[in-house]
Amino acid sequence: MAEEVAYVNLDPGCVSTPYTPVYDVREKFTLEKLMLKERLGPNSAVIRLLSSSKGLWTTSSRQLREAMLK
């Protein structure tokens, strides 16, 4: 019973990964870009991202499902 493994990155603050993910949330947004754009610190950027990203997470979950089915 062989199982396939797919690596994903759901951390928008991650700088690099030791693997090549099939889905990487950083393609949509990163904490660094948000911090620069809105002049926020890291904690404020996380709070801002979580409070305003419901649509982004919905899109991300859809893209994640599609990537996993490939």
Taking only the tens place, the pLDDT of each residue in 5-52 is 888 888 888 899 999 998 888 888 888 998 999 999 989 988 887 776
Backbone angles phi, psi at 44, to 5 degrees: -65, -35
Sequence-distant (6+) residues with CB within 8 A of 56 are: 28, 29
- pLDDT band with cut points at 50, 70 and 90 for residue 66: confident
Domain ranges in the chain are 22-69
pLDDT of residue 36: 94
* Better pLDDT: 4 or 41: 41
Residue 54 above 60 pLDDT? no
